[in-house]
Amino acid sequence: MNALNKCGRVLAVAAVLLSTACGDLDVTNPNAPDADRARVGSSELGALARGTWHRWYRYSTDVDPWMATGVAADALTSNFGNFGMRFSNVQPRIPYGNISGGTDQWTARYPWQESYGVLGVANDVIGSIKAGVQAPAASPNTAVQETEAYHALALFTQAASLTQLGLIFDQAFVVDEDTVARISAEPSVALELAPYPAVVSAAHAKWDALISLTSTMTGTITSPQEVMPTVGWDLDPESLNKLANTMAARLLAYAPRNGAETAAVSWGQVLTYAENGITDRSGAGFDLFVQGNGSNWFSYINYYGNEPSWLRVDHRVINAMDPSFPAEFDGSAASLAEANSADNRYASDFGWDDGGPIGDPLRGVYMQSTHWHSRWQDHSRFAATGARTPAPYILGTENNLLIAEALIRSGGDLGDAATLINLTRVTRGGLPAATAGEGAATLLEYVQYERLIELMNTNGLELWDARRFDTVQPGTWRHLPVPASELETLGMDIYSIGGPGAELRLGRAARNIRTATPQY
């Protein structure tokens, strides 16, 4: 029994050691902030507010939905199955395939998910500030000024995300810091989908709030390049105010889904916003270029949009520059030949591929093209500098043309409008100067043409223009449905948009997916 005692003691000691000495069951996750640590506190306000800018910019220049909207607008073309391109390009047009499977689901799902992701954080920041959380002072700002700056930054991404939702979807949830407060007070409250005019209106109110805030701010934005690496200027209250005005003008001008809605826009209001925007009536001002660094900051719109082996330019655009050129590729000698345009930009901004079109003709010859957009090719995957050059997001030209269009549509000074149009039409295009004498209708056509050529592959506005100018093909979806995955989560019927007569909402068969078999 001696051995029993001795070894029993050893085992007992081992047991005690095992049961007491090693490790506690309360383990924290060192890899990601936990709820308590991420709840917006004083020191987190800055990181969270800045982070919303980065995420907003990335999804606003990503492949989804901008590759699909580009081909749906017949500005760009491709027949590859990636990024919703092939089936948004099919003739005759078919409904958007709104199902929760397959890659095309991301056309709607990605901007939806990212918009609400950004809104979630922006709302937290604003809600916390309203609840009294204050950022630490950061030279030269006092704590109050620093807090105000983060409030302004979060207000921008809040408004910008609601803007994307209002432009892209037929309906969406309007959520802001007040909604969050309401839900946390009463978790059973279910949000309701609002039709796009209500979403646009909510975004509009947020831009007004930002314009108002930035007009009275006394401090500055510290470390502006960490918010967004702008090129040639830094974010400060004044530039943020101008940017907010341009964004508001864009929202009102691009929200219409057809010509009739376009006519109904308050163009006087657009004019006011645009004139207070990043350029003035003389065209002086600044562009919003974002410096690409190949990792955190870059634009897929340029990375793929200017890459000739992925996306080409629809022959309708080439036809706009050279009316003798076939408006649709058909494989004929004429459509394979180089065009001949009076517009200097045909040579400077576009490439002609003498090797012929890309893609499989069996998917639809009309989806092919011999031309590609080369203006921003330094930023494209095609170039050794890909993703690492400044990428255009809002050009001063876009604001100029908004002023011009608003002048024309609101009965303003056509001479001023012509001057703004000529800033690119004559200087870059080498085309005859537009004059007030040509009349509003012609000047509006010039605006439309300048927008098509100048603003291609900047911020994904091709479809917004095509729908409000009514140049989309019949049956083209003019906005996207709430993504099927979200409808599934909410337990709602899945519906889609597109196909003849269903450009705004699919009527019959409003449930489930595509109602016509894909054609080629």
Partner 1 sequence: MNRTACLRGLFAPFMALFLAMASSGTALAQGASITGRVTNDAGAPLRGATVIITSLNLGTQVSENGTYTLTVPAASTNGQQVVLTARFIGFKPVQRTITLTSGTQAEDFALEADPFRLEELVISGVADATSQRKLTISVARVSEDQIANVPASSPLQALQGKVAGARISLGQGNPGADPAIRLRGSSSLQVGGNEPVIIVDGVITRGSLADIDANDIESLEVLKGPAAASFYGSDAANGVVNITTKRARNLGDNTTTFLVRSEYGQSGLQQLVPVNQYHAYELNADGSIATTGAGARILKADRIYDNPFPSSGALRYRNQLEEWLTDGKFYSTNVQLGLRRGNTNVASSFTVDRNAGILPFKNGQIRRNLRLNVDQGLTDNLDLSMSVAYGLNQNDFSPGATTGWFELLQAPPDADLETPDPDNADIAYYRAYPQFYQSNRVNPLYQLRYQDYNLRRERIIGSVQGRYRPTDWLSFEAVYGTDRLNSRNHTYTPRGYLTEGGTPGTGSMSIGTNNSVQYNAQVTATASRSWFEDQLATTTRLQYLYEQDDSRSLSGSGSVFTVDAVPDLDWFLTDNRSSGSSMTMERTRDFAVVQDIDFRDRYILSLLYRRDGSSLFGSEERWADFYRVSGAYILSEDFQVPGFDHIKLRAARGTAGLRPGFSYQYETYNSSGGNPVKSTLGNRDLRVAEVAENEFGLEFAFLQRFNAELVYADRVTEGAFLNVPLSSAQTGGFQSQWQNAADISAKTIEARFDALIVNRTDLTYSLTLTADRTTQNIDRMNRAPYRVNATGQQNQDMFYYKAGEPLGIMYGRSFIRSLDESLLQNHPGWTGSVSDYEMNPDGYVVLSANRGTPTELPLVRYDDSGAAWQGVIGDVNPSFSFGIANNITFKSFNVYALFDGVQGADIYTFTRQWMYQDGRHGWMGQGDRPASERISSGFYQSGLYDANNPNDAFVEDGSFVKLRELSVSYNFSPDLLNRIGASRYISGAKIALIGRNLYTWTDYSGFDPDVSAAGDFNFRSDGFRYPNFRQFSGQIELRF
Show contacts with partner 1 in window 385-444 (CB under 8 A): 386, 388
Residue 58 touches partner 1, criterion: CB under 8 A: yes
Q: Which of 486, 465, 484, 478 is nearest to 505 (CA)?
A: 478
Residue 123 C-beta: closest distance to partner 1, Å: 6
Residue among 21, 185, 264, 441 that touches partner 1 (CB under 8 A): 21
Residue 344 C-beta: closest distance to partner 1, Å: 26
Element (H, E) at 12: helix 2-20
Residue among 67, 69, 87, 318 that touches partner 1 (CB under 8 A): 87
Rank residues 360 and 445 by Cβ distance to partner 1 and give the closer one: 360
Cβ-based burial of 143 (10 A; exposed 0-12, middle 13-18, buried ≥19)? middle
Residue 231 touches partner 1, criterion: CB under 8 A: no
Say if residues 481 and 496 touch (Cβ distance below 8 Å): yes
Question: Binding to partner 1 (CB under 8 A): which residues in 97-136?
Answer: 97, 99-104, 113, 116-121, 123-124
Residue 518 touches partner 1, criterion: CB under 8 A: yes
Residue 500 touches partner 1, criterion: CB under 8 A: no
The Cα-based distances of 348 to 70, 375, 376, 380, 453 in angstroms read: 21, 7, 11, 16, 11
What are the residues whose beta carbons fall under 8 Å from the beta carbon of 201, sequence distance 6 or more? none
Residue 195 C-beta: closest distance to partner 1, Å: 15
Residue 373 C-beta: closest distance to partner 1, Å: 14
Say if residues 124 and 157 touch (Cβ distance below 8 Å): no
Residue 237 C-beta: closest distance to partner 1, Å: 22
Residue 147 C-beta: closest distance to partner 1, Å: 18
DSSP string across 410-437 = TT--HHHHHHHHHHHHTTTT-PPPP-GG
Rank residues 333 and 441 by Cβ distance to partner 1 and give the closer one: 333
Measured at the alpha carbon of residue 69, what is the angle toward residues 67 and 72, in degrees to the nearest 5?
110
Say if residues 480 and 505 touch (Cβ distance below 8 Å): no
User: Whole-angstrom Cα distance, residue 184 to residue 174?
Assistant: 16
Residue among 62, 462, 486, 503 that touches partner 1 (CB under 8 A): 486
Rank residues 40 and 434 by Cβ distance to partner 1 and give the closer one: 40
Residue 309 touches partner 1, criterion: CB under 8 A: yes
Interface pattern 168-187 for partner 1 (x via CB under 8 A):
----xx-x----x--x----
Say if residues 389 and 292 touch (Cβ distance below 8 Å): yes
Residue 171 C-beta: closest distance to partner 1, Å: 11
Residue 514 touches partner 1, criterion: CB under 8 A: yes
Please give the backbone phi and psi of residue 263, each rounded to the nearest 5 degrees, phi first: -65, -30
Say how many C-beta atoms besides its own lie within 10 A of residue 32's C-beta: 7
Only one of the segments 81-89, 212-220, 278-286, 453-461 lies at the binding site for partner 1 (rule: CB under 8 A); that segment is 81-89
Query: DSSP letter at 480?
Result: B
Residue among 35, 185, 264, 441 that touches partner 1 (CB under 8 A): 35
Say if residues 74 and 327 touch (Cβ distance below 8 Å): no
Question: Binding to partner 1 (CB under 8 A): which residues in 328-387?
Answer: 331, 333, 336, 356-363, 365, 381-384, 386
Residue 481 touches partner 1, criterion: CB under 8 A: no
Residue among 9, 130, 182, 511 that touches partner 1 (CB under 8 A): 511
Q: Which residues pair with 371 in a beta bridge?
A: 352
Residue 251 C-beta: closest distance to partner 1, Å: 20
End-to-end CA separation in angstroms for the chain: 90
Helix ranges, 176-328 (H):
177-185, 196-216, 224-227, 237-254, 259-263, 267-275, 300-305, 315-321
Q: How many residues bind partner 1 (CB under 8 A)?
A: 109
User: Whole-angstrom Cα distance, residue 496 to residue 513?
Assistant: 6
Rank residues 184 and 427 by Cβ distance to partner 1 and give the closer one: 184
Question: Binding to partner 1 (CB under 8 A): which residues in 279-308?
Answer: 293-297, 307-308
Residue 38 touches partner 1, criterion: CB under 8 A: yes
Rank residues 51 and 219 by Cβ distance to partner 1 and give the closer one: 51
Rank residues 266 and 296 by Cβ distance to partner 1 and give the closer one: 296
Residue type, 249: A
Residue 331 C-beta: closest distance to partner 1, Å: 6
Residue 25 touches partner 1, criterion: CB under 8 A: yes
Only one of the segments 13-21, 142-150, 408-416, 473-481 lies at the binding site for partner 1 (rule: CB under 8 A); that segment is 13-21
What are the residues whose beta carbons fall under 8 Å from the beta carbon of 298, sequence distance 6 or more? 61, 292, 379, 387, 388, 391
DSSP string across 342-392 = SSHHHHHHEEE-TT---S-GGG-GGG--SEEE-TTGGGSTTSTTTT-SEEE
Residue 352 C-beta: closest distance to partner 1, Å: 12
Residue 190 touches partner 1, criterion: CB under 8 A: yes
